[in-house]
Amino acid sequence: MPILLSTFYFFYFAIIGVYIIFMPKVLAMSGYSASEIGIIFAAGPLVRFILPFAFIKGLKIDLKSFNFALAIMLLSAVSFYFSLDSFYKLLFSNIGLGIGLSVILPYIEVISLSVIGKERYGKVRLFGSVGFVLVALVLVKYLSAPVIALNYLLLATGATAVIAFVIVLNAHAKRVKKEEIKNDINLLADWKLWLGLTLMQVSFGSFYNFFTIYETDFGVSLDMTIYLWSFGVIMEIVMLFSQGRFLQNNLLTILQITTFASAIRWFLVYAFPQDLVVLFFSQSLHALSFALFHSAAISYLFHTYKHQALAQQFFSGITYGLGGFSGALLAGYIYEIFPRELFLSSALIAFLAFVSLRFHAQRSKGNS
């Protein structure tokens, strides 16, 4: 199972690499404005936000819904070939891809944490980072036309679907039993926690959707921008490999440290957009702001709530969904109106995430 999980993460995050590094540039090359790019890339996260509430209302997290999500993901990857010339076609293609990705990853994450545990999770998950950085380094050399990016997207999507299907078929029988547990997630009672996790992803809207455009507009070459992306992922891999000992500590403290580090990271990009030394240092903080934050967040939710599958769906839907939607939309309009202040806004949002998680930690400490 660890080998299958590692292979899944490799191809899944190869999809993400193509999608967030190259697709915004492809759309810019195709004549779309910053606000249009923001709207298009906000569609997928919005779907991710809506889907968990459907599971609360009766839709079951089972093999049937999982396989349906795989089919939607594959069809959406194919539809991109026929969508580049139309804003609305692209919008629907992104919605479909968002549906597939939003169901598949949380489902697999629960299997990972159940089978290998939080201490070993990083050593399996790091293969996702390897897939991300490899597709970035390879595709930057061959991206001479939009269709090339679409070919890579389809290849990674097909491989992900096949491996995910095999993993779920081989999942432990106890996994099915856990899905029948009654929902114990109270978003209102734990609103400071969910607000902090969501704001963290809002702050990433500028990075995921406009970092490549932002840096190349400031005169940094596309090759150097990809090296910055790749360096950040290398730091992420190092953290994923060694984070087991960190995750044995207080997970809420880790979440506070990583959100504060992210505020510093985004401020450095804002203050020194052309200084490569500072930019590479800011990218080294990706080890904290993505790798350690993500692992600490899913581990905290896994051990906090009994309905682990739904908790991961909400994490994907509310943080990466609502947070990603809001971040993409906000970043698009900020970059169009106040381009210089794009990452300053991200720094402020990440700091608010830190404050919210700190209040949640104090409340949790007071209740213990």
pLDDT in tens, 74-119: 999 999 888 888 888 888 888 888 888 888 888 888 788 778 877 7
DSSP, collapsed to helix, strand or coil, labels residue 250 as coil
C-alpha–C-alpha distance, residues 237 and 48, integer Å: 26
CB 144 within 8 A of CB 26: no
For the chain, give the number of residues: 368
Instruction: Give the model's pLDDT for residue 253.
Output: 92
Tell me the average pLDDT across 175-198. Answer: 73
Q: Which of 143, 294, 334 is nearest to 225 (CA)?
A: 143
DSSP, collapsed to helix, strand or coil, labels residue 190 as coil
CA distances from 20 to 26, 44, 238, 328, 364 (A): 10, 12, 21, 11, 35
**Which is higher by pLDDT, 204 or 208?**
204
Instruction: Give the model's pLDDT for residue 145.
Output: 74
CB 332 within 8 A of CB 37: yes
Whether the pLDDT of residue 172 is over 80: the answer is: no
Q: Which domain holds residue 14?
A: 2-367
Q: Which of 267, 288, 275 is nearest to 346 (CA)?
A: 267
CB 218 within 8 A of CB 342: no
Q: Which of 108, 149, 130, 126 is nearest to 19 (CA)?
A: 149
Tokens of 232: 């950040």
Whether the pLDDT of residue 176 is over 80: the answer is: no
Tell me the average pLDDT across 263-268. Answer: 97
**Which is higher by pLDDT, 157 or 26?**
157
Instruction: Give the model's pLDDT for residue 180.
Output: 55
Find the CATH number of the domain harbouring 118.
1.20.1250.20
The model carries a pTM of 0.76
Encode burial over 56-79: b for 16+ CB neighbours within 10 A, e otherwise.
Answer: eeeeebeeeebbebbebbbebbbb
**Total of domains in the chain:** 1
